[in-house]
Homo-oligomer: A and B are copies of this chain.
Amino acid sequence: MKKNYLLAPGPTPIPPEVLEALGRPIIHHRTPLYEEILREVRGGLKYLFQTKSEVLIFASSGTGAMEGAVTNTLCAGDKALVVEGGKFGERFSQICRAYGVIPIALPVAWGQAVNPGVIENVLREDPSIKAVFIQATETSTGVLHPVGEIAALVSRLPGTLLVVDGISHLGAVELPMDEWKLDVVLCGSQKALMLPPGLAFAALSDKAWEFVERSTLPRFYFDFKKELKNLTQNQSAYTPAISLVVGLAESLRLIRKEGLENILVRHARLAKATRAAVGALGLELYAPRAYSDAVTAVLAPPGIDGQKVVKILREKHNLTIAGGQDRAKGKIFRLAHMGYIDGADIVAGIAAMELTLHELGYKFEMGAGVKAAMKILVNG
């Protein structure tokens, strides 16, 4: 017998209701039936994004929406401030360079959050900067950036947009788009939305739509304006990923049923339990002062390769988590708690982690992590 467990920061486990929807006979997208589903999905996405704006849907991975956020709002030669505190921050710079936008990288040590004061200074010194790109949660480090504070600064500047990658964040951790005055918020299907990868999302503020009107970068597949026009007619510019959209309708129903506020509380509790276990085992967080409740990055103990932890967990305990990427490879391992995850998943995950660390020769009191997690799960 082999039961598989998944605590990775994307893909995340899929609820049976959604799996069932994914396996249904396909329906045609140019039909009233599909349009009714898309109408419901539009409402559900606005609820999730906490916005009055339409949330565009693309058949692509999240990177497609990241590209679209650059190519639909900026012009060649524009300058963009990019918070580079991990692999996904760096991706925004790469996209900018690919399209002739000048990225002004703001390097942040991996595992640390950006200081909003630094962003404020950079924007004051160079008012020509057209956009700030940032991750709400930087998946590669488990860091939570202070997006709300940054938005308070950027929203005062009429010539600068704040583009927030909420891919490993939205639906797990607070990100109220309209209340915080975020200009572009991006998301992907395979995280807190409890779906397979293959859908990307982008919502734009009125200010961002004004940038779209002036933007001259080339785009076709990820053309936000064309997609908006089709979406308001409950259609898409090109053939949509129908089965994923049908699954999305189911996952949004589950989200509405639980309630976004309750969902955020659940994620906070699961993340706190995970961190408590990490501490009880004598391990350290990679982002001790700036952790996100979406994914917990743990420093591998001295002398133990983080990649080995991942490998043994997968091969011996049927649990898939994520290792470190790029410069963090081998140094950390990452336990996610996004989406269709409950306390039992966390307990099982920590138990497997304890067994794995034990096998790798790490010294600790067996069960201490699980015990610490359970205390949080019981008492909140």
Contacts and interface: CB of A to CB of B under 8 A. Distances in A.
A128 interface: no
B242 A196 contact: yes
Contacts of A220: 63, 67, 94-95, 98-99
A280 interface: no
A5 to B, nearest CB: 10
B61 A28 contact: no
Given A24-B19, A197-B241, A31 B61 contact: no
Nearest to A98: B220
Contact of A198 (B28, B30, B31, B244): B244
Interface residues of A, number: 55
A89 interface: no
Interface stretch (A10-18, A144-152, A171-179, A282-290): A10-18
A6 B26 contact: yes
B25 A13 contact: yes
A174 to B, nearest CB: 24
Q: Which of A4, A19, A239, A320 has the most CB of B within 10 A?
A: A239
B14 A25 contact: yes
A191 to B, nearest CB: 10
A237 B67 CA distance: 14
Contacts of A61: 59, 221, 238-241
B30 A19 contact: no
Contact of A197 (B64, B196, B239, B322): B239
A222 interface: yes
Interface string A1-39: 000101010111110000110111111111100000000
Interface string A38-59: 0000000000000000000011
Contacts of A67: 220-221
A188 interface: yes
Interface centre among A4, A10, A20, A238, by most B CB within 10 Å? A238
Contacts of A215: none
A253 interface: no
Contacts of A20: 23
A380 interface: no
B4 A25 contact: yes
A155 interface: no
A360 to B, nearest CB: 20
A320 B27 CA distance: 9
A190 interface: yes
A314 interface: yes
A30 B322 contact: yes
11 contacts: A8-B28, A11-B26, A14-B25, A20-B23, A22-B23, A60-B60, A61-B240, A62-B239, A63-B238, A98-B220, A241-B244
Given A196-B241, A197-B242, 17 more contacts: A10-B239, A11-B26, A22-B22, A22-B243, A26-B190, A58-B60, A59-B60, A59-B198, A60-B64, A61-B221, A62-B239, A67-B220, A94-B220, A198-B198, A198-B243, A218-B218, A243-B244
